[in-house]
Amino acid sequence: MNNQNHVKHLVKYSLFAIAILVSLSFVLVASPVLAGVGAVHWSYGGADNPTQWGHLSKDFAMCEQGKDQSPINIKNAVTSSTANISFDYKDSPLEIVNNGHTIQINYAQGSSVTIDGKKYDLLQFHFHTPSEHEINDRAAAMELHLVHRNNLGQLAVVGVLINQGAANPMIAEIWNQIPKVGETNTVSDRKINVADLLPKSKAYFSYNGSLTTPPCSEGVSWNILQAPITVSAEQIETFANIYQVDARPLQSLNGRTVQLHR
C-alpha cells in the first residue's frame, strides 16, 4: 500500500471512530429523556430510601419539610363522635398493577365511602408490608390502603391492618393474578368487591396526614379501621417475596390529635 492510500485509510477509520463516539455520546445523553422526562426514582432502600425522598426532587420537598406527615404511631387517641363512616362499594373488574413499589388494584367508577357527610369516590387500593401505621407501638404484618377522592380533589384513605391468621379468599385470588413488575393484568372474566376486605366493626381512628409515598402531599384525611383482618402466613410470604419492605417509617405527630370513633 502506497503512502497516499495509507493516509486515505487512516482518515477513513478516524472518521468512523469519531462517528461511533458521537453516536455513543448521543445515546448516553438521550437515554434519560427516553426513560421519561421528570421521572424521579425513589425506593424503600438503598440511596433513594425514605430518609432521602425530600432531597430527590423539589417536588418531594414535603417529605422532608412537612409537619403533618404519615404514617404515625396511633396512641392516646381521643374518643370522639360515634363512627360516621359508610361504604358503598360495588363490584369491579379485577385490574392488578405491579408498579414497582406495591401491588395496586385499580377500581371501576361508582364505588364510594362517606365520612362525616363527605362522599369520596374509590380510585384504587394497594398493600404495604409491614403495616405503615402502628397502634400502641405495635405494627401489623401488612396494611391495606383504600384511596378515595372527592369532587374537590381532596383525598381520603381508609386503612385496614392485616394480621397473620386465617387465609383470605379474595387475597388469594388477587395474588394468583399478580403480573410482572411494570405490568398490568386485567382479568376480564372476574369481578371483585373490596367490601370483602373490610372488618365487621367500623370503629376507626382519624387524623389529618399525608401521602406515605412521594410527593408526600398533605391534607389527606386518614381513617384507620380499629379492627384488623387476617391473611395466612403463606399469603404474607407471597407478597414479601415481591416487596419485602414497602413501608415508610413512622412520622412525628407534631401536636396533631388522633380521634377514635366507635
DSSP classification of residue 156:
E
Q: Where are the beta strands (DSSP E) in the chain?
A: 73-74, 78-79, 85-88, 92-98, 103-106, 112-115, 118-128, 134-135, 138-139, 142-149, 155-164, 184-192, 204-210, 218-225, 229-231, 259-261
Amino acid present at 197: L
Q: Which residues contact 187 (CB under 8 A, 6 or more apart)?
A: 93, 94, 95, 96, 177
Residue 8 identity (one-letter amino acid):
K
One-letter amino acid identity for 128?
H
CA 37 to chain centre: 21
Q: Retrieve residue 244's grid coordinates.
A: 419485602
Active site residue 101: yes
Task: Select which of 6, 9, 41, 101 is catalytic.
Answer: 101
Which residue reads 410482572 in cell numbers? 180
- The Cα–Cα gap between 63 and 28 comes to 31
Q: Are 110 and 171 in contact (CB under 8 A)?
A: no
* Residues labelled catalytic: 101
